[in-house]
Structure 1
Amino acid sequence: MKKKTAVFENLSDFYRQKDWFYLTVWLSGLLVCWIWNFVYLNAPALRQVERGFINTVLISLMVVVFSAILGWTMIIVDHWLARRFPAFQVGLQFIFNLVRSIPQIVGILMGYVLLTSLHTLGIIHSELIMLVTMAAIIALFVFLEVFDLLAERIAYFRRLDFFNAMRVCGISERYIINREIIWRSSLTHLLNKLIAIFGAAIFLLCSVDFIISVGLSTDVSPVDLPVTLGSLLAKIDSKQDILAIGHSLTHWDYIIRLPFAHLQGITIAFVIVFTLLCVYYIANGYARRIRQ
Protein backbone atom coordinates (compact mmCIF):
# COMPACT_ATOMS: atom_id res chain seq x y z
CA MET A 1 0.00 0.00 0.00
CA LYS A 2 2.83 2.36 0.87
CA LYS A 3 4.54 1.58 -2.44
CA LYS A 4 1.35 2.41 -4.36
CA THR A 5 0.99 5.65 -2.42
CA ALA A 6 4.60 6.57 -3.19
CA VAL A 7 4.07 5.84 -6.88
CA PHE A 8 0.95 8.01 -6.99
CA GLU A 9 2.79 10.81 -5.19
CA ASN A 10 5.66 10.62 -7.68
CA LEU A 11 3.25 10.69 -10.60
CA SER A 12 1.41 13.62 -9.03
CA ASP A 13 4.67 15.53 -8.53
CA PHE A 14 5.69 14.77 -12.10
CA TYR A 15 2.32 16.02 -13.41
CA ARG A 16 2.65 19.25 -11.44
CA GLN A 17 5.95 19.92 -13.22
CA LYS A 18 4.16 20.91 -16.41
CA ASP A 19 7.29 21.57 -18.41
CA TRP A 20 8.71 18.07 -17.91
CA PHE A 21 5.26 16.53 -18.23
CA TYR A 22 4.53 18.11 -21.61
CA LEU A 23 8.08 17.43 -22.81
CA THR A 24 7.41 13.75 -22.10
CA VAL A 25 4.02 14.00 -23.81
CA TRP A 26 5.64 15.58 -26.87
CA LEU A 27 8.38 12.98 -27.20
CA SER A 28 5.97 10.11 -26.54
CA GLY A 29 3.48 11.46 -29.06
CA LEU A 30 6.17 11.78 -31.71
CA LEU A 31 7.35 8.24 -31.01
CA VAL A 32 3.83 6.80 -31.33
CA CYS A 33 3.28 8.80 -34.52
CA TRP A 34 6.54 7.54 -35.99
CA ILE A 35 5.73 3.91 -35.15
CA TRP A 36 2.30 4.26 -36.80
CA ASN A 37 3.87 5.78 -39.91
CA PHE A 38 6.58 3.13 -39.97
CA VAL A 39 3.87 0.47 -40.12
CA TYR A 40 1.40 2.07 -42.54
CA LEU A 41 3.19 4.78 -44.56
CA ASN A 42 5.22 3.87 -47.63
CA ALA A 43 8.99 4.09 -47.23
CA PRO A 44 9.71 7.04 -49.61
CA ALA A 45 7.02 9.20 -47.97
CA LEU A 46 8.24 8.23 -44.50
CA ARG A 47 11.79 9.27 -45.38
CA GLN A 48 10.48 12.62 -46.63
CA VAL A 49 8.53 13.20 -43.41
CA GLU A 50 11.54 12.22 -41.28
CA ARG A 51 13.83 14.49 -43.27
CA GLY A 52 11.38 17.38 -43.09
CA PHE A 53 10.96 16.98 -39.32
CA ILE A 54 14.71 16.74 -38.69
CA ASN A 55 15.40 19.82 -40.83
CA THR A 56 12.62 21.77 -39.11
CA VAL A 57 13.82 20.93 -35.60
CA LEU A 58 17.48 21.48 -36.54
CA ILE A 59 16.78 24.92 -38.01
CA SER A 60 14.66 25.89 -35.00
CA LEU A 61 17.39 24.82 -32.57
CA MET A 62 19.94 26.86 -34.52
CA VAL A 63 17.56 29.83 -34.38
CA VAL A 64 17.53 29.49 -30.59
CA VAL A 65 21.34 29.41 -30.43
CA PHE A 66 21.77 32.33 -32.85
CA SER A 67 19.12 34.38 -31.04
CA ALA A 68 20.83 33.84 -27.68
CA ILE A 69 24.24 34.79 -29.09
CA LEU A 70 22.92 37.83 -30.99
CA GLY A 71 20.77 39.04 -28.11
CA TRP A 72 23.55 38.71 -25.55
CA THR A 73 26.15 40.28 -27.85
CA MET A 74 23.95 43.19 -28.87
CA ILE A 75 23.00 44.04 -25.28
CA ILE A 76 26.71 44.30 -24.43
CA VAL A 77 27.37 46.41 -27.54
CA ASP A 78 24.38 48.63 -26.75
CA HIS A 79 25.56 49.14 -23.17
CA TRP A 80 29.10 49.94 -24.32
CA LEU A 81 27.89 52.42 -26.94
CA ALA A 82 25.60 54.11 -24.41
CA ARG A 83 28.66 54.84 -22.23
CA ARG A 84 31.24 55.70 -24.89
CA PHE A 85 29.39 56.79 -28.04
CA PRO A 86 25.77 57.78 -27.25
CA ALA A 87 25.14 58.95 -30.82
CA PHE A 88 25.99 55.51 -32.22
CA GLN A 89 23.78 53.92 -29.58
CA VAL A 90 20.87 55.98 -30.87
CA GLY A 91 21.65 54.76 -34.39
CA LEU A 92 21.73 51.15 -33.18
CA GLN A 93 18.35 51.57 -31.50
CA PHE A 94 17.01 53.06 -34.73
CA ILE A 95 18.14 49.97 -36.64
CA PHE A 96 16.50 47.72 -34.06
CA ASN A 97 13.25 49.67 -34.28
CA LEU A 98 13.41 49.42 -38.06
CA VAL A 99 13.71 45.64 -37.80
CA ARG A 100 10.79 45.58 -35.35
CA SER A 101 8.64 47.50 -37.82
CA ILE A 102 9.04 44.81 -40.50
CA PRO A 103 6.58 41.90 -40.16
CA GLN A 104 8.60 38.81 -39.36
CA ILE A 105 7.21 36.70 -42.21
CA VAL A 106 7.87 39.49 -44.72
CA GLY A 107 11.42 39.94 -43.47
CA ILE A 108 12.12 36.21 -43.63
CA LEU A 109 10.73 36.04 -47.17
CA MET A 110 13.12 38.84 -48.17
CA GLY A 111 15.97 36.86 -46.65
CA TYR A 112 14.89 33.75 -48.54
CA VAL A 113 14.99 35.72 -51.79
CA LEU A 114 18.63 36.55 -51.07
CA LEU A 115 19.35 32.93 -50.12
CA THR A 116 17.83 31.62 -53.35
CA SER A 117 19.82 34.14 -55.37
CA LEU A 118 23.06 33.03 -53.73
CA HIS A 119 22.16 29.40 -54.42
CA THR A 120 21.33 30.16 -58.06
CA LEU A 121 24.64 31.98 -58.52
CA GLY A 122 26.47 28.94 -57.16
CA ILE A 123 27.77 30.70 -54.06
CA ILE A 124 25.93 28.36 -51.68
CA HIS A 125 25.90 24.65 -52.56
CA SER A 126 25.84 22.66 -49.33
CA GLU A 127 22.46 21.85 -47.80
CA LEU A 128 23.96 22.27 -44.33
CA ILE A 129 25.06 25.81 -45.17
CA MET A 130 21.56 26.54 -46.47
CA LEU A 131 20.06 25.24 -43.21
CA VAL A 132 22.40 27.44 -41.20
CA THR A 133 21.60 30.44 -43.41
CA MET A 134 17.85 29.86 -43.06
CA ALA A 135 18.26 29.74 -39.28
CA ALA A 136 20.34 32.93 -39.31
CA ILE A 137 17.69 34.74 -41.37
CA ILE A 138 14.93 33.78 -38.94
CA ALA A 139 17.14 34.66 -35.95
CA LEU A 140 17.64 38.18 -37.31
CA PHE A 141 13.92 38.82 -36.85
CA VAL A 142 13.41 37.12 -33.48
CA PHE A 143 16.60 37.81 -31.51
CA LEU A 144 15.27 41.20 -30.41
CA GLU A 145 12.99 39.33 -28.00
CA VAL A 146 16.12 38.15 -26.20
CA PHE A 147 17.63 41.63 -26.43
CA ASP A 148 14.52 43.24 -24.91
CA LEU A 149 14.40 40.67 -22.11
CA LEU A 150 18.03 41.25 -21.15
CA ALA A 151 17.58 45.02 -21.38
CA GLU A 152 14.65 44.81 -18.95
CA ARG A 153 16.63 42.64 -16.54
CA ILE A 154 19.63 44.98 -16.61
CA ALA A 155 17.44 48.05 -16.11
CA TYR A 156 15.74 46.35 -13.16
CA PHE A 157 18.97 45.41 -11.39
CA ARG A 158 20.56 48.80 -12.03
CA ARG A 159 17.85 50.30 -9.81
CA LEU A 160 18.84 48.04 -6.91
CA ASP A 161 21.46 48.88 -4.31
CA PHE A 162 23.62 45.85 -5.06
CA PHE A 163 24.62 47.25 -8.48
CA ASN A 164 26.01 50.48 -7.03
CA ALA A 165 27.55 48.57 -4.11
CA MET A 166 29.49 46.33 -6.48
CA ARG A 167 30.59 49.34 -8.51
CA VAL A 168 31.88 51.01 -5.33
CA CYS A 169 33.88 47.84 -4.62
CA GLY A 170 35.66 48.35 -7.92
CA ILE A 171 33.93 45.59 -9.89
CA SER A 172 33.56 46.44 -13.57
CA GLU A 173 30.12 46.91 -15.10
CA ARG A 174 30.91 44.31 -17.75
CA TYR A 175 31.48 41.70 -15.07
CA ILE A 176 28.34 42.71 -13.17
CA ILE A 177 26.16 42.56 -16.26
CA ASN A 178 27.54 39.34 -17.71
CA ARG A 179 28.18 37.38 -14.53
CA GLU A 180 25.83 38.66 -11.84
CA ILE A 181 22.82 39.92 -13.81
CA ILE A 182 22.59 37.78 -16.95
CA TRP A 183 24.27 34.52 -15.93
CA ARG A 184 23.39 34.23 -12.23
CA SER A 185 20.12 36.19 -11.99
CA SER A 186 18.49 35.97 -15.43
CA LEU A 187 19.44 32.56 -16.81
CA THR A 188 16.07 30.97 -16.00
CA HIS A 189 14.23 33.88 -17.64
CA LEU A 190 16.50 33.57 -20.66
CA LEU A 191 15.85 29.82 -20.95
CA ASN A 192 12.10 30.42 -20.78
CA LYS A 193 12.37 32.97 -23.58
CA LEU A 194 14.47 30.59 -25.69
CA ILE A 195 11.86 27.84 -25.32
CA ALA A 196 9.25 30.26 -26.63
CA ILE A 197 11.57 31.25 -29.48
CA PHE A 198 11.92 27.58 -30.42
CA GLY A 199 8.16 27.39 -30.92
CA ALA A 200 8.08 30.71 -32.77
CA ALA A 201 10.86 29.51 -35.07
CA ILE A 202 8.91 26.37 -35.99
CA PHE A 203 5.80 28.44 -36.69
CA LEU A 204 7.63 31.02 -38.81
CA LEU A 205 9.63 28.39 -40.70
CA CYS A 206 6.59 26.28 -41.55
CA SER A 207 4.53 29.35 -42.47
CA VAL A 208 7.15 30.82 -44.79
CA ASP A 209 7.96 27.47 -46.42
CA PHE A 210 4.25 26.83 -46.96
CA ILE A 211 3.82 30.27 -48.56
CA ILE A 212 6.76 29.61 -50.87
CA SER A 213 5.71 26.08 -51.78
CA VAL A 214 2.14 26.98 -52.73
CA GLY A 215 3.46 29.69 -55.04
CA LEU A 216 2.33 32.80 -53.17
CA SER A 217 5.90 34.09 -53.38
CA THR A 218 7.25 33.78 -56.92
CA ASP A 219 10.67 35.23 -56.06
CA VAL A 220 11.72 32.09 -54.21
CA SER A 221 11.74 28.59 -55.66
CA PRO A 222 10.88 25.78 -53.21
CA VAL A 223 13.14 23.48 -55.23
CA ASP A 224 16.15 25.50 -54.08
CA LEU A 225 15.40 25.11 -50.36
CA PRO A 226 15.82 22.11 -48.02
CA VAL A 227 12.71 20.09 -47.20
CA THR A 228 10.80 21.13 -44.08
CA LEU A 229 7.41 20.28 -42.62
CA GLY A 230 5.99 23.47 -44.11
CA SER A 231 7.10 22.66 -47.65
CA LEU A 232 5.87 19.06 -47.30
CA LEU A 233 2.47 20.30 -46.14
CA ALA A 234 2.13 22.34 -49.33
CA LYS A 235 2.70 19.36 -51.63
CA ILE A 236 -0.29 18.13 -53.61
CA ASP A 237 -0.39 14.77 -51.80
CA SER A 238 -0.50 16.43 -48.40
CA LYS A 239 -3.12 18.95 -49.49
CA GLN A 240 -5.33 16.14 -50.75
CA ASP A 241 -4.90 14.38 -47.42
CA ILE A 242 -5.95 17.53 -45.56
CA LEU A 243 -8.97 17.99 -47.85
CA ALA A 244 -9.97 14.44 -47.01
CA ILE A 245 -10.56 15.59 -43.42
CA GLY A 246 -13.20 18.01 -44.69
CA HIS A 247 -14.76 15.25 -46.76
CA SER A 248 -15.02 13.06 -43.67
CA LEU A 249 -17.10 15.71 -41.89
CA THR A 250 -20.00 14.97 -44.23
CA HIS A 251 -19.18 11.28 -44.70
CA TRP A 252 -18.65 9.84 -41.25
CA ASP A 253 -17.80 6.37 -42.50
CA TYR A 254 -14.73 7.85 -44.24
CA ILE A 255 -13.09 8.84 -40.93
CA ILE A 256 -11.79 5.33 -40.35
CA ARG A 257 -9.80 5.54 -43.60
CA LEU A 258 -7.98 8.77 -42.72
CA PRO A 259 -5.15 7.26 -40.60
CA PHE A 260 -4.42 4.73 -43.36
CA ALA A 261 -5.20 6.22 -46.79
CA HIS A 262 -4.25 9.86 -46.05
CA LEU A 263 -1.46 9.39 -43.55
CA GLN A 264 1.25 11.69 -44.94
CA GLY A 265 -0.64 14.99 -44.88
CA ILE A 266 -2.39 14.21 -41.60
CA THR A 267 0.92 13.26 -40.00
CA ILE A 268 2.63 16.48 -41.09
CA ALA A 269 -0.27 18.66 -39.92
CA PHE A 270 -0.48 16.75 -36.64
CA VAL A 271 3.25 17.03 -35.93
CA ILE A 272 3.24 20.80 -36.56
CA VAL A 273 0.18 21.52 -34.40
CA PHE A 274 1.13 19.01 -31.70
CA THR A 275 4.67 20.40 -31.45
CA LEU A 276 3.52 24.03 -31.24
CA LEU A 277 0.95 23.15 -28.58
CA CYS A 278 3.43 21.18 -26.48
CA VAL A 279 6.12 23.87 -26.74
CA TYR A 280 3.55 26.45 -25.58
CA TYR A 281 2.70 24.37 -22.50
CA ILE A 282 6.37 23.61 -21.84
CA ALA A 283 7.22 27.32 -21.84
CA ASN A 284 4.27 28.18 -19.59
CA GLY A 285 5.03 25.30 -17.23
CA TYR A 286 8.67 26.32 -16.96
CA ALA A 287 7.67 29.94 -16.30
CA ARG A 288 5.34 28.86 -13.47
CA ARG A 289 7.99 26.61 -11.96
CA ILE A 290 10.67 29.31 -11.82
CA ARG A 291 8.22 31.70 -10.13
CA GLN A 292 7.65 29.25 -7.27
Structure 2
Amino acid sequence: MTTNSGEEDVLGALRNLQTHIKDRRPSRHKPITLLWAIGRLAAEQEDTRDHLVGWQTFREEVGPLLRDFGLPDSRVTPQYPFWHLRSSGLWDVEGIDTRGSTPTPSQLTAAGARAGFGKEAAKVLRRSLARAEAIGLICSRYLPDVDRAALLERVGLAGYASASGELAGREGSVSRSRQTSFRPDRDTRLVRHIKELYDDACQVCGARVETMDSHYSEAAHIRGLGGPHLGPDQLSNLLCLCPNHHVEFDRFAIYIEEDWTVRRNSTGVVEYELKLHADHVIEQDHIRYHRALCGHR
Protein backbone atom coordinates (compact mmCIF):
# COMPACT_ATOMS: atom_id res chain seq x y z
CA MET A 1 0.00 0.00 0.00
CA THR A 2 1.43 3.36 -0.99
CA THR A 3 1.24 6.48 1.14
CA ASN A 4 0.17 9.71 -0.56
CA SER A 5 1.82 13.08 0.04
CA GLY A 6 -1.09 14.40 2.10
CA GLU A 7 -0.80 11.52 4.54
CA GLU A 8 2.98 11.96 4.73
CA ASP A 9 2.50 15.66 5.49
CA VAL A 10 0.07 14.97 8.32
CA LEU A 11 2.16 12.21 9.89
CA GLY A 12 5.32 14.30 9.49
CA ALA A 13 3.64 17.20 11.29
CA LEU A 14 2.59 14.88 14.11
CA ARG A 15 6.14 13.55 14.47
CA ASN A 16 7.47 17.10 14.74
CA LEU A 17 4.80 18.40 17.09
CA GLN A 18 6.19 21.15 19.34
CA THR A 19 5.21 20.61 22.96
CA HIS A 20 5.90 22.86 25.94
CA ILE A 21 8.65 21.47 28.19
CA LYS A 22 8.40 21.83 31.96
CA ASP A 23 10.91 20.21 34.31
CA ARG A 24 12.27 18.24 31.33
CA ARG A 25 8.86 16.72 30.67
CA PRO A 26 6.82 17.51 27.56
CA SER A 27 3.30 18.78 28.13
CA ARG A 28 0.50 16.41 27.18
CA HIS A 29 -1.96 19.16 26.28
CA LYS A 30 -1.46 19.14 22.50
CA PRO A 31 -1.34 15.33 22.02
CA ILE A 32 -4.46 14.85 24.16
CA THR A 33 -6.27 17.56 22.21
CA LEU A 34 -5.30 15.98 18.90
CA LEU A 35 -6.70 12.61 20.00
CA TRP A 36 -9.92 14.33 21.06
CA ALA A 37 -10.16 16.01 17.65
CA ILE A 38 -9.50 12.71 15.85
CA GLY A 39 -12.26 11.15 17.93
CA ARG A 40 -14.68 13.81 16.73
CA LEU A 41 -13.68 13.17 13.12
CA ALA A 42 -14.15 9.42 13.56
CA ALA A 43 -17.66 10.01 14.89
CA GLU A 44 -18.73 12.07 11.88
CA GLN A 45 -21.07 10.41 9.44
CA GLU A 46 -20.22 12.53 6.38
CA ASP A 47 -17.02 14.15 5.17
CA THR A 48 -18.80 17.43 4.45
CA ARG A 49 -19.74 18.02 8.08
CA ASP A 50 -18.15 21.11 9.69
CA HIS A 51 -15.20 19.90 11.78
CA LEU A 52 -14.39 23.15 13.62
CA VAL A 53 -15.61 23.38 17.22
CA GLY A 54 -16.62 26.47 19.17
CA TRP A 55 -14.47 27.53 22.12
CA GLN A 56 -17.17 26.86 24.71
CA THR A 57 -17.62 23.26 23.54
CA PHE A 58 -13.87 22.81 23.25
CA ARG A 59 -13.30 24.00 26.82
CA GLU A 60 -16.09 21.82 28.24
CA GLU A 61 -14.82 18.67 26.47
CA VAL A 62 -11.04 19.12 26.43
CA GLY A 63 -10.63 20.70 29.86
CA PRO A 64 -11.59 17.53 31.80
CA LEU A 65 -9.29 15.45 29.58
CA LEU A 66 -6.34 17.70 30.37
CA ARG A 67 -7.21 17.50 34.06
CA ASP A 68 -7.48 13.70 34.11
CA PHE A 69 -4.70 12.73 31.69
CA GLY A 70 -2.28 15.68 31.74
CA LEU A 71 0.87 15.78 33.85
CA PRO A 72 0.00 15.62 37.58
CA ASP A 73 1.21 19.15 38.34
CA SER A 74 0.13 20.71 35.04
CA ARG A 75 -2.39 23.55 34.96
CA VAL A 76 -5.62 22.92 33.07
CA THR A 77 -5.40 25.52 30.30
CA PRO A 78 -7.42 24.36 27.26
CA GLN A 79 -6.96 27.79 25.64
CA TYR A 80 -3.31 26.95 24.97
CA PRO A 81 -3.79 23.91 22.70
CA PHE A 82 -6.86 25.61 21.19
CA TRP A 83 -4.62 28.49 20.12
CA HIS A 84 -1.08 27.12 19.82
CA LEU A 85 -1.82 23.97 17.82
CA ARG A 86 -1.77 26.32 14.82
CA SER A 87 2.03 25.92 14.84
CA SER A 88 1.60 22.25 13.85
CA GLY A 89 0.30 23.20 10.41
CA LEU A 90 -2.68 20.90 10.98
CA TRP A 91 -4.93 23.21 12.96
CA ASP A 92 -7.14 26.16 12.11
CA VAL A 93 -8.54 28.86 14.38
CA GLU A 94 -11.35 31.07 13.08
CA GLY A 95 -13.37 33.98 14.38
CA ILE A 96 -10.55 35.88 16.07
CA ASP A 97 -7.43 37.73 14.91
CA THR A 98 -4.69 35.09 14.92
CA ARG A 99 -1.84 37.59 14.63
CA GLY A 100 -1.90 38.58 18.28
CA SER A 101 -0.73 36.90 21.48
CA THR A 102 -2.59 34.07 23.19
CA PRO A 103 -6.13 35.30 23.88
CA THR A 104 -7.80 34.83 27.23
CA PRO A 105 -10.77 32.49 27.63
CA SER A 106 -13.09 35.49 27.90
CA GLN A 107 -11.72 36.91 24.64
CA LEU A 108 -12.25 33.58 22.88
CA THR A 109 -15.82 33.49 24.19
CA ALA A 110 -16.56 37.05 23.12
CA ALA A 111 -15.17 36.43 19.63
CA GLY A 112 -17.06 33.16 19.14
CA ALA A 113 -13.75 31.54 18.21
CA ARG A 114 -13.73 28.09 16.64
CA ALA A 115 -10.88 25.63 16.08
CA GLY A 116 -10.09 22.19 14.73
CA PHE A 117 -8.17 20.33 12.06
CA GLY A 118 -7.68 22.17 8.79
CA LYS A 119 -9.62 20.82 5.82
CA GLU A 120 -6.71 18.89 4.31
CA ALA A 121 -5.67 17.33 7.61
CA ALA A 122 -9.28 16.39 8.36
CA LYS A 123 -9.61 14.80 4.93
CA VAL A 124 -6.53 12.65 5.54
CA LEU A 125 -7.54 11.64 9.08
CA ARG A 126 -10.94 10.42 7.91
CA ARG A 127 -9.11 7.57 6.12
CA SER A 128 -8.90 4.45 8.25
CA LEU A 129 -5.20 3.67 7.79
CA ALA A 130 -4.06 7.28 8.24
CA ARG A 131 -6.20 7.57 11.37
CA ALA A 132 -4.74 4.36 12.81
CA GLU A 133 -1.22 5.59 12.06
CA ALA A 134 -1.89 8.97 13.66
CA ILE A 135 -3.38 7.47 16.81
CA GLY A 136 -0.55 4.95 17.18
CA LEU A 137 2.07 7.67 16.62
CA ILE A 138 0.55 10.12 19.13
CA CYS A 139 0.11 7.49 21.83
CA SER A 140 3.55 5.92 21.50
CA ARG A 141 5.54 9.13 20.93
CA TYR A 142 3.89 11.62 23.27
CA LEU A 143 1.75 9.68 25.74
CA PRO A 144 3.68 6.48 26.58
CA ASP A 145 2.92 6.75 30.31
CA VAL A 146 -0.80 7.45 29.91
CA ASP A 147 -3.44 4.75 30.28
CA ARG A 148 -4.08 4.37 26.55
CA ALA A 149 -7.28 2.36 26.89
CA ALA A 150 -8.82 4.83 29.35
CA LEU A 151 -7.87 7.90 27.29
CA LEU A 152 -9.02 6.45 23.98
CA GLU A 153 -12.33 5.44 25.52
CA ARG A 154 -12.86 8.99 26.78
CA VAL A 155 -12.24 10.54 23.35
CA GLY A 156 -14.45 8.06 21.49
CA LEU A 157 -11.64 5.92 20.09
CA ALA A 158 -11.93 2.89 22.38
CA GLY A 159 -11.63 0.43 19.51
CA TYR A 160 -8.08 1.59 18.83
CA ALA A 161 -6.90 0.35 22.24
CA SER A 162 -6.59 -3.19 20.89
CA ALA A 163 -6.11 -4.93 17.55
CA SER A 164 -9.45 -6.70 17.91
CA GLY A 165 -11.39 -3.43 18.23
CA GLU A 166 -14.89 -3.03 19.59
CA LEU A 167 -17.70 -5.34 18.59
CA ALA A 168 -19.94 -2.37 17.94
CA GLY A 169 -23.23 -2.17 16.11
CA ARG A 170 -21.73 -0.95 12.83
CA GLU A 171 -21.82 -2.37 9.35
CA GLY A 172 -18.47 -3.49 8.03
CA SER A 173 -16.96 -6.16 5.83
CA VAL A 174 -18.34 -8.94 8.07
CA SER A 175 -22.02 -9.62 8.65
CA ARG A 176 -23.41 -9.01 12.16
CA SER A 177 -26.02 -10.95 14.08
CA ARG A 178 -28.18 -9.51 16.85
CA GLN A 179 -27.89 -11.25 20.21
CA THR A 180 -27.62 -9.16 23.39
CA SER A 181 -25.39 -6.89 21.26
CA PHE A 182 -23.98 -6.75 17.75
CA ARG A 183 -21.02 -9.03 17.09
CA PRO A 184 -19.22 -10.19 13.95
CA ASP A 185 -20.14 -13.60 12.59
CA ARG A 186 -16.81 -15.44 12.33
CA ASP A 187 -16.42 -18.18 9.77
CA THR A 188 -15.64 -21.20 11.97
CA ARG A 189 -14.30 -23.05 8.93
CA LEU A 190 -11.50 -20.49 8.62
CA VAL A 191 -10.70 -20.87 12.31
CA ARG A 192 -10.37 -24.63 11.93
CA HIS A 193 -8.38 -24.25 8.72
CA ILE A 194 -5.72 -21.89 10.12
CA LYS A 195 -5.22 -24.16 13.14
CA GLU A 196 -4.94 -27.25 10.94
CA LEU A 197 -2.41 -25.56 8.64
CA TYR A 198 -0.04 -25.03 11.56
CA ASP A 199 -1.02 -28.10 13.54
CA ASP A 200 -1.87 -25.77 16.47
CA ALA A 201 1.71 -24.43 16.56
CA CYS A 202 2.06 -20.70 17.24
CA GLN A 203 3.33 -18.80 14.20
CA VAL A 204 5.39 -16.57 16.48
CA CYS A 205 7.11 -18.91 18.91
CA GLY A 206 6.25 -22.36 17.54
CA ALA A 207 4.79 -23.55 20.85
CA ARG A 208 1.93 -26.07 20.90
CA VAL A 209 -0.17 -25.80 24.04
CA GLU A 210 -0.98 -29.31 25.21
CA THR A 211 -4.38 -30.28 26.58
CA MET A 212 -5.43 -33.62 28.06
CA ASP A 213 -6.39 -35.11 24.71
CA SER A 214 -5.09 -32.70 22.08
CA HIS A 215 -3.45 -29.29 21.54
CA TYR A 216 -4.78 -25.76 21.76
CA SER A 217 -4.19 -22.64 19.67
CA GLU A 218 -6.10 -19.46 18.84
CA ALA A 219 -7.04 -17.86 15.54
CA ALA A 220 -6.15 -14.16 15.71
CA HIS A 221 -7.33 -11.55 13.25
CA ILE A 222 -4.56 -9.17 12.25
CA ARG A 223 -6.95 -6.32 11.48
CA GLY A 224 -9.74 -6.88 13.95
CA LEU A 225 -13.30 -7.63 12.91
CA GLY A 226 -14.69 -5.20 15.45
CA GLY A 227 -15.12 -1.48 14.88
CA PRO A 228 -13.33 0.73 14.08
CA HIS A 229 -10.99 -1.68 12.25
CA LEU A 230 -13.69 -3.68 10.44
CA GLY A 231 -11.21 -6.11 8.97
CA PRO A 232 -12.24 -8.99 6.68
CA ASP A 233 -12.87 -12.51 7.95
CA GLN A 234 -10.41 -14.10 5.53
CA LEU A 235 -7.44 -16.43 5.78
CA SER A 236 -5.17 -13.59 4.63
CA ASN A 237 -6.16 -11.70 7.80
CA LEU A 238 -5.58 -14.56 10.24
CA LEU A 239 -2.74 -15.86 12.38
CA CYS A 240 -2.46 -19.06 14.42
CA LEU A 241 -1.10 -18.04 17.83
CA CYS A 242 -0.61 -19.41 21.31
CA PRO A 243 -2.70 -17.62 23.99
CA ASN A 244 0.25 -15.54 25.24
CA HIS A 245 1.25 -14.21 21.86
CA HIS A 246 -2.39 -13.65 20.92
CA VAL A 247 -2.73 -11.29 23.89
CA GLU A 248 0.61 -9.61 23.13
CA PHE A 249 -0.32 -9.12 19.49
CA ASP A 250 -3.78 -7.83 20.34
CA ARG A 251 -2.42 -5.36 22.93
CA PHE A 252 0.44 -4.11 20.72
CA ALA A 253 3.30 -5.63 22.72
CA ILE A 254 4.63 -7.21 19.50
CA TYR A 255 4.32 -6.37 15.82
CA ILE A 256 5.36 -7.87 12.49
CA GLU A 257 7.71 -6.22 10.01
CA GLU A 258 7.41 -6.49 6.22
CA ASP A 259 10.18 -9.11 6.24
CA TRP A 260 8.10 -11.21 8.69
CA THR A 261 10.34 -10.61 11.68
CA VAL A 262 8.50 -10.16 14.98
CA ARG A 263 9.64 -7.25 17.15
CA ARG A 264 9.05 -6.40 20.78
CA ASN A 265 7.37 -2.98 20.74
CA SER A 266 8.90 -1.71 23.97
CA THR A 267 12.50 -2.41 22.87
CA GLY A 268 12.41 -2.81 19.09
CA VAL A 269 14.31 -6.09 19.46
CA VAL A 270 13.62 -8.84 16.93
CA GLU A 271 12.49 -11.86 18.93
CA TYR A 272 11.15 -14.25 16.29
CA GLU A 273 10.58 -14.78 12.59
CA LEU A 274 6.97 -15.44 11.72
CA LYS A 275 6.38 -19.00 10.59
CA LEU A 276 4.54 -19.20 7.28
CA HIS A 277 2.85 -22.14 5.58
CA ALA A 278 3.00 -22.27 1.78
CA ASP A 279 -0.81 -22.23 1.60
CA HIS A 280 -1.16 -19.25 3.90
CA VAL A 281 -0.78 -15.90 2.09
CA ILE A 282 -1.02 -12.98 4.50
CA GLU A 283 -2.06 -9.58 3.16
CA GLN A 284 0.67 -7.03 3.91
CA ASP A 285 -1.88 -4.23 4.16
CA HIS A 286 -3.30 -5.89 7.29
CA ILE A 287 0.18 -6.24 8.78
CA ARG A 288 0.85 -2.59 8.07
CA TYR A 289 -2.43 -1.54 9.68
CA HIS A 290 -1.55 -3.43 12.88
CA ARG A 291 1.97 -2.03 12.83
CA ALA A 292 0.53 1.49 12.55
CA LEU A 293 -1.52 0.94 15.68
CA CYS A 294 1.73 0.00 17.41
CA GLY A 295 3.17 3.37 16.42
CA HIS A 296 5.35 2.21 13.52
CA ARG A 297 5.24 2.60 9.73
Please tell me the TM-score bracket, short chain as reference: under 0.3
TM-score (norm 1): 0.28
Higher RCO, 1 or 2 (CA under 8 Å, sep at least 6)? 1
Larger Rg: 1
Whichever structure has more helix as a proportion of its residues is 1
